[in-house]
Every structure is written in structure tokens, then in C-alpha cells.
Amino acid sequence: MPTSSSLILHHYPLSPFAEKVRLMLGHKALDWKSVTIPMVSPKPDLVALTGGYRRTPVLQIGADIYCDTALIADVLEHTQPLPTLYPEPSKGLARTLAQWADGTLFWTAMAFNMQPRGLAQIFEHTPPEAAQAFRQDRSAMAAGMPRQRPQDAAAAYKSYLRRLSDMLDDRPFLLGDVPCIADFAAYHPLWFTRSRTSVLAEVLGLTPAVLEWMDRLAATGHGTWEKLGAQEAIEVAAAAEPAALQGDVFQDEHGIPLGSQVLVSAESFGPEPTQGELVAATRMHYTLRRHDARAGTVHVHFPRIGYALKAA
Ligand SMILES: N[C@@H](CCC(=O)N[C@@H](CS)C(=O)NCC(=O)O)C(=O)O
């Protein structure tokens, strides 16, 4: 069982999905270390750990590397079970609502946030090349994905905010008296509007109950953290052994046996695959074992939902 002080989050301040994890760390009052990663590729120090995956954030515990916030939430729950992110009796509902928020709500909010006025605010203090590099990097990541225009996104965003507001009519959090995974997932795209593209934040004023709910979640804080260098994080991995795998390591859906060289990649947005030996495919997660010249032997973990597994 990892101790909370061994948690290392690879992230950058502007990232909404990172804000989701920072708040979950606060919710569970955890201690963690913070490695700041670049906002755009190349990310050589991160990729030394992940073997290819470049999205943000990534959680490291020793030589175990956890990709995707849905998986990171499960790892935090295991590390510190209380307060739970999955209160009964609405665990299934909470996960399903969180998936909607991380997908539909996130992409709608970001299509709205990234309209020219929002982009101008994000990059107002940076050289024009930084904005250009960001646009190029993100359009390469989004190749093949449907693109929503800001005008269409604005209408959908307002509807989604009204739906969230309806849910908050008679309760402080989306599914009850305490926050659950759905609250953290629905919060982060709205946090971006409110704090990073605040020139557009009047849209949130239409639903005051949502703003009050955001204040309640923000009060959770980010737990206790200190900075760590990227090279030091790699040294932590190199000095550690991956944690032992749990018993039920194989649910085969692909006809690819354990021990095979495989590629795992996100189904959309950021197709860079990670290659390694498939050492576990549980009901919910894949684990790839790989060797890196700098990080040594690491286990890289992915959720099954949202990721494609192929023979290398
Ligand atoms: N499903 C992923 C989505 C992660 C994601 O799309 N993160 C954005 C930042 S908020 C990203 O990776 N952007 C490109 C980058 O940071 O390089 C998760 O839950 O972690």
C-alpha cells in the first residue's frame, strides 16, 4: 500500500484535468509532490516514465505510473479510502455522470473557453510563438475529432449549466450531501472558464447555484504539496521496484496473451501510444511493463475505458 507522501503528480497549473486531481488530493487531505511538465510536446522527462503517453496529468508512485484521471481517482481511493469518491448507493450513477462530464461537458466548455477572447486572455503575457505552438500541438492531438464552433458550444454549455443547477436545487453536491467523483469531474471545465478565461465567466453568472457549488468544492483545497524536479522524479522511479500485481490480472477480450508486446493509446485526443509487455489486463485496467534508460523498469497503468490495446 503506497503512503500518501509517495504520490507524485506530473501536471501544469493551467490543466483542467490536473485541477480535478489536485482537488481530489485536497478532498482526501493527502500529501503529494508536484512536478511541473510542459504544456506541449516534446515532454522528454514525462515520456521517460510513460513510454509515449503525453497527456496531463500523470500520477507516479515509485516505479508505477498511472495515466488518466479516471484511473488516478481509483488509485487515490485505494491509497486513502475516506472520504470516499464513490459514496453508495449512487456509485454507478456517479461514475457515469463523471464520464459525461469528462467527455461531453469538458469538450463543450473548452470549445467555448477557447474562442478568440478566451485564447487572448490565456496567452496575454506570453510571446506569440507560445500561442502558436499551443494551437498547433492541440490541433495535432485532436486530428479526426469533431470540432464544435464556439457559438454552438455556448448554447450547449448554458443548457448543461442549467442541468447542473437543477441537480443542486435541493442538495449541496451533485448527488447528495457530500462530494463524489461526479462533482470533481464536472467542476474542472467550469474552473477553467472561471479562473483562466474569466473574460467569458459571465456565462456562469446565469446559474448562481453552480457558482455556490464551485465555491464549496474550491474550499476543499489541494492538500499539502511540495515541488519536485522532473529529474528527481525519474530517479525515484529508477530506485524503486514496481508494486506487486494483484491476483486477478487477466480478462482477455483481444486474444492477446500476457507477456506479449503491446501498444496502448487513447481512443481520441493524443494518440501517442505506450509500448511494453502486457503484464495485466484486469476488469478495469491495463498494465504494461517497460524498461527505460533513465527510469529503469516501470509499470505503466491505463484504464480500459477510453484506451485501445493492440499487439505491437
Ligand atoms: N481522459 C484524460 C484526459 C486528459 C487530457 O485531455 N488532458 C489535457 C490537459 S487538461 C491534455 O492532456 N492536454 C494536452 C497536454 O497537456 O499535453 C484524463 O482524464 O486524464
How many CB atoms within 10 Å of residue 304?
A: 18
Whether residue 129 has pLDDT greater than 90: yes
298, amino acid identity: V
What's the CA-to-centroid distance between 257 and ligand 1, angstroms?
Answer: 29
Q: Which atom of ligand 1 is nearest to the CA of 14?
A: 10
Q: Which of 12, 71, 269 to mutate to test the pocket of ligand 1 (most atoms within 8 A of CB)?
A: 269
Among 10, 14, 15, 66, the mutation site with the greatest number of ligand 1 atoms within 8 A of its Cβ is 15
Would residue 88 be called left, alpha or beta, if left means φ above 0 and alpha means ψ between -120 and 50 degrees?
beta
Say which residue, 164 or 147, is predicted with more confidence: 164
CB 173 within 8 A of CB 23: no
Other C-beta atoms lying within 10 Å of the C-beta of residue 233: 24
The pLDDT value recorded for residue 247 is 73
Is the confidence at residue 4, as pLDDT, over 80?
no
Give the ranges where the chain is alpha helix by DSSP (H): 16-27, 44-50, 69-79, 91-100, 106-113, 116-122, 128-141, 150-167, 181-191, 208-218, 230-239
Which residue's alpha carbon is at the smallest distance from atom 6 of ligand 1? 55
Round to whole Å and give the CA distance between 69 and 185: 9
Stretch (H or E) spanning 261 = strand 261-266
Half-sphere exposure of 126 (CA within 13 A, CB side): 12
Most ligand 1 atoms within 8 A of CB, residue of 21, 54, 55 to mutate: 55
Q: ∠ CA 140-143-144 to the nearest 5 degrees?
A: 180
Q: Which amino acid, 288?
A: L
Q: Which residues contact 113 (CB under 8 A, 6 or more apart)?
A: 189, 192, 193, 196, 197, 200
Cα-Cα-Cα-Cα torsion 15, 73, 80, 184, nearest 10 degrees, comes to 60
pLDDT in tens, 202-228: 999 999 999 999 999 999 999 999 999
The CA distance from 186 to 203, in Å, is 16
Q: Is the pLDDT of residue 5 over 90?
A: no
Averaged pLDDT, 32-56: 98
The whole-model pTM stands at: 0.97
263-294 pLDDT per residue, tens? 999 999 999 999 999 999 999 999 999 999 99
Helix (H) or strand (E) holding 33: strand 31-36
Q: What is the pLDDT of residue 1?
A: 42
What is the tens place of the pLDDT at every residue in 98-120?
Answer: 999 999 999 999 999 999 999 99
Helix (H, G, I), strand (E, B) or coil at 258: coil
- Is the pLDDT assigned to residue 89 strictly greater than 90? yes
What is the share, in percent, of the chain residues with pLDDT greater than 70? Answer: 98
pLDDT interval class at 56 (50, 70, 90)? very high
Distance between CA atoms of 40 and 20, rounded to whole angstroms?
Answer: 19
| 23 Cβ contact list (under 8 Å, min separation 6) | 184, 187, 188, 217, 218, 220, 221, 222
CA distance 102 to 99: 5
Closest ligand 1 atom to Cα of 55: 12
pLDDT in tens, 13-22: 999 999 999 9
Residue 74: Cβ within 10 Å count: 19
The one-letter amino acid code at 302 reads F
The separation between the first and the last C-alpha atoms of the chain, rounded to the nearest angstrom, is 32
C-beta of residue 276 within 8 angstroms of C-beta of residue 289: yes
Q: Tens digits of per-residue pLDDT, 229-249?
A: 999 999 999 999 999 998 778
The CA-atom distances, in angstroms, between 234 and each of 23, 47, 50, 141 are 25, 10, 11, 25
Q: Are 233 and 43 in contact (CB under 8 A)?
A: no
Q: Residues lining ligand 1, CB < 6 A?
A: 15-17, 39, 54-56, 68-70, 102, 269-270, 306
Atom of ligand 1 nearest to the CA of 188: 10
How many A from CA of 56 to the centre of ligand 1? 4
State the Rg of the chain over Cα.
Answer: 19
10 Å CB burial of residue 14 (0-12, 13-18, 19+) is middle
Residue 235 confidence (pLDDT): 98
What integer pLDDT is reported at residue 248 of this predicted model?
A: 79
